[in-house]
């Protein structure tokens, strides 16, 4: 269908959502943009994008830090019918070009900060666009909620990143279902505390635009700037990962009363950290989800977190979670991805009978709470015995000298795999391999004790705190030829 309109934002909102034109859409240290002003910027930017050749169905890769421009560009691309693909700004130039070659976008749009990055294909630096000052309405052709709205690359924590295609309906349903527990209103202020090129960060933009609330954009994603934004702008909602939360606690920062919910996701979170945060006034809610599920599909509030800190929440209806006979967590939801871009084989392996195969191993207790134990692909098989690396890691972390650890299996002709552990010790501490083995001797079965403990300075991680297990495995492999 052909739809003439001034703003794409009207299409992603339900009739019940009434947004005040003069309410703040974007809040930053140096500016505040109302929804009326945002719609004008979106319209002008969409014209500017058409002037540089962007057309309907084009993929447009974006290289932007978290800033106001990015929040304008995304709906401006939707206005045309183009598909935004935010890229990870921390990737090396060669890795960015590899993703660009894979996607073959019509344009790569970047902020001035990245103007010196040598990118292949057609490139334009924002805001070097023509912004015509007219009152014409742009026509969105063939708009459908089932069309691809966004492509995001997975974090690649367990292998090569995959390009996930999410539809408008995926994003809308994720926001509506999530709102059953968040009770999001136009009065809320979301802190943009995660990168926009990850689903956790992008969903902040989408939820805010959909419900007419404000996005608080910090000067940067440094912990200091995040802390300053919380102090100054007093958000009501935020999403954090463990490393950010730990930094706030180390600074003895007490959150403002206005901050009513803090979503904690992004992987393993230490129970002691969670309890310390809640005892210091942080209203922690735990969530579980992925890029493929368009953000979180399970949730637990602060009271529930107190009672079951190791859980990942309860499923939010109409989402469904089942545990297979192999203990894999599978998810059914209207927010499940359309598929992987240009990768039918991987799409087929992950989407079966309406369920997304997460690759996570876990269980649901008798009260309906989901517990995630490990990644299926991370399972170690040594001498015919299955070993869950997370179980071994949690046991090693009981030692107060150990700060971080990653346990992995290395191929071995005799045992199939042998267990290795990469260990980061706390500052001013020392420990030998034998001491670590002795520490574990009466705590776990002997076949679960790593053959080698390799001391390193730090573990490779994503910005969301997920350990890059494959990188750890590659790093340790030469030690065990």
Confidence of residue 5 (pLDDT cuts 50, 70, 90): very low
The owner of tokens 């002037």 is: 51
Q: Does residue 303 sit in the same domain as residue 330?
A: yes
Question: SS3 for 301-366, per residue?
Answer: CHHHHHHCCCCCCEECCCCEEEECCCCEEEEECCCCCCEECCCHHHHHHHEECCEEEEEEEEEECC
**Does the pLDDT value for residue 475 go beyond 80?**
yes
Q: Does residue 294 sit in the same domain as residue 426?
A: no
Q: Does residue 331 sit in the same domain as residue 403?
A: no
Report how far residue 138's alpha carbon sits from residue 71's, in angstroms, rounded to the nearest whole number. 19
Report how far residue 137's alpha carbon sits from residue 437's, in angstroms, rounded to the nearest whole number. 70
135: domain CATH number is 3.40.50.12780
pLDDT tens-digit series, residues 408-417: 999 877 777 8
Name 15's Cβ contacts closer than 8 Å, sequence gap at least 6: none
14/174: higher pLDDT: 174
pLDDT average, residue stretch 317-323: 97
Q: In Å, what is the CA distance from 370 to each residue of 356, 365, 432? A: 16, 7, 37
Nearest to 119 by CA among 151, 97, 142: 97
| The last residue of a domain, from among 354, 372, 390 | 372
Q: Does residue 356 sit in the same domain as residue 387?
A: no
Q: What 3-state class would DSSP assign to 370?
A: strand
What integer pLDDT is reported at residue 354 of this predicted model? 94
CB 4 within 8 A of CB 139: yes
pLDDT average, residue stretch 46-68: 93
pLDDT average, residue stretch 296-323: 95
What integer pLDDT is reported at residue 86 of this predicted model? 98
Q: Domain containing 124: what range? A: 3-372
| The last residue of a domain, from among 338, 372, 406 | 372
Instruction: Tell me the average pLDDT of the chain.
Output: 89
pLDDT tens-digit series, residues 88-101: 898 889 889 999 99
pLDDT average, residue stretch 54-69: 95
pLDDT tens-digit series, residues 225-283: 999 999 999 999 999 988 789 899 999 999 999 999 999 986 667 788 899 999 999 99
What integer pLDDT is reported at residue 133 of this predicted model? 61
Q: Does residue 393 sit in the same domain as residue 284?
A: no
What integer pLDDT is reported at residue 2 of this predicted model? 35
What are all long-range contacts of 449-452, with beta carbons under 8 Å and residues at least 24 apart? 449/392, 449/419, 450/392, 450/407, 450/419, 450/420, 450/421, 451/418, 451/419, 451/420, 452/418, 452/420, 452/421, 452/476, 452/479, 452/480
pLDDT average, residue stretch 47-72: 94
Nearest to 402 by CA among 441, 435, 442, 357: 435
Q: Does residue 274 sit in the same domain as residue 406?
A: no
468: domain CATH number is 3.30.300.30
Q: Does residue 303 sit in the same domain as residue 392?
A: no
pLDDT tens-digit series, residues 199-229: 999 999 999 999 999 999 999 999 999 999 9
pLDDT average, residue stretch 114-124: 94
CB 129 within 8 A of CB 46: no
What integer pLDDT is reported at residue 142 of this predicted model? 64
CB 471 within 8 A of CB 415: no
% of residues, the chain, pLDDT over 90: 68
278 membership: H or E segment, kind and range: helix 271-279
What integer pLDDT is reported at residue 150 of this predicted model? 97
Q: Does residue 346 sit in the same domain as residue 418?
A: no
Q: In Å, what is the CA distance from 41 to each residue of 17, 201, 203? A: 21, 21, 21
Region of poorest pLDDT, from 82-91, 151-160, 403-412: 151-160
Which of 68-72, 135-139, 265-269 is predicted most confidently? Answer: 68-72
- What number of helices (H) and strands (E) belong to the chain? 13, 28
**Does the pLDDT value for residue 137 go beyond 80?**
no
Q: Does residue 120 sit in the same domain as residue 59?
A: yes
Report how far residue 373's alpha carbon sits from residue 391's, in angstroms, rounded to the nearest whole number. 8
pLDDT tens-digit series, residues 416-468: 789 999 999 999 999 999 999 999 988 888 889 999 999 999 999 887 778 88
- Number of domains the chain contains: 2
Q: Does residue 222 sit in the same domain as residue 334?
A: yes
* Cross-sheet strand order for the sheet of 83-86: 83-86, 59-63, 107-110, 123-125
Q: Note the maximum CA span of the chain.
A: 75
């Amino acid at each position: 269908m052909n739809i003439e309109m001034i703003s794409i934002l009207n299409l992603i909102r339900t009739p019940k959502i009434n947004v005040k034109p003069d309410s703040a859409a974007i809040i930053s240290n140096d500016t505040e943009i109302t929804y009326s002003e945002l719609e004008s910027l979106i319209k002008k930017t969409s014209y500017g994008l058409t002037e540089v050749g962007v057309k309907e169905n084009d993929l447009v890769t974006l290289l932007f830090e978290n800033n106001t421009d990015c929040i304008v560009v995304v709906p401006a691309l939707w206005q045309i019918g183009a598909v935004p693909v935010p890229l990870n700004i921390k990737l090396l130039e060669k890795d960015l070009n590899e993703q660009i070659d894979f996607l073959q976008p019509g344009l790569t749009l970047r902020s001035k900060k990245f103007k010196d990055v040598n990118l292949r294909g057609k490139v334009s630096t924002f805001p070097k666009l023509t912004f015509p000052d007219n009152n014409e309405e742009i026509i969105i052709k063939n708009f459908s909620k089932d069309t691809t709205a966004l492509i995001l690359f997975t974090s690649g924590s367990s292998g090569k990143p995959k390009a996930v295609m999410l539809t408008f309906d995926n994003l809308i349903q994720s926001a509506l279902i999530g709102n059953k527990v968040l009770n999001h209103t136009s009065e809320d202020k979301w802190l943009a505390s995660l990168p926009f090129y990850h689903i956790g960060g992008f969903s902040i933009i989408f939820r805010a635009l959909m419900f007419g609330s404000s996005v608080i954009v910090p000067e940067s994603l440094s912990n200091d700037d995040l802390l300053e934004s919380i102090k100054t702008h007093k958000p009501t909602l935020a999403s954090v990962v463990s490393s950010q939360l730990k930094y706030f606690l180390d600074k003895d920062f007490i959150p403002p009363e206005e901050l009513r919910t803090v979503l904690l996701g992004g992987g393993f979170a230490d129970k002691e950290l969670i309890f310390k945060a809640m005892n210091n006034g942080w209203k922690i809610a735990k969530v579980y989800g992925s890029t493929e599920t368009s953000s979180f599909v399970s949730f637990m509030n602060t009271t529930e977190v107190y009672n079951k800190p190791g859980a990942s929440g309860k499923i939010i209806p109409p989402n469904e979670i089942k545990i297979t006979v192999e203990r894999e967590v599978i998810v059914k939801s209207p927010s499940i991805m359309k598929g992987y871009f240009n990768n039918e084989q991987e799409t087929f392996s992950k989407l079966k009978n309406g369920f997304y195969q997460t690759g996570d191993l876990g269980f649901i207790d008798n009260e309906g709470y989901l517990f995630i134990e490990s990644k299926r692909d991370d399972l170690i098989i040594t001498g015919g015995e299955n070993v869950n690396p997370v179980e071994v890691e949690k046991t090693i972390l009981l030692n107060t000298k150990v700060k971080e650890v990653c346990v992995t299996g290395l191929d071995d002709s005799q045992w199939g795999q042998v267990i290795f552990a990469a260990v980061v010790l706390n500052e001013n501490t020392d420990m030998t391999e034998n001491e670590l083995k002795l520490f574990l001797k009466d705590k776990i079965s002997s076949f679960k004790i790593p053959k080698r403990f390799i001391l390193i300075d730090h573990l490779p991680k994503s910005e969301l705190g997920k350990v890059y297990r494959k990188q750890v495995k590659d790093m340790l492999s030469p030690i065990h030829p």
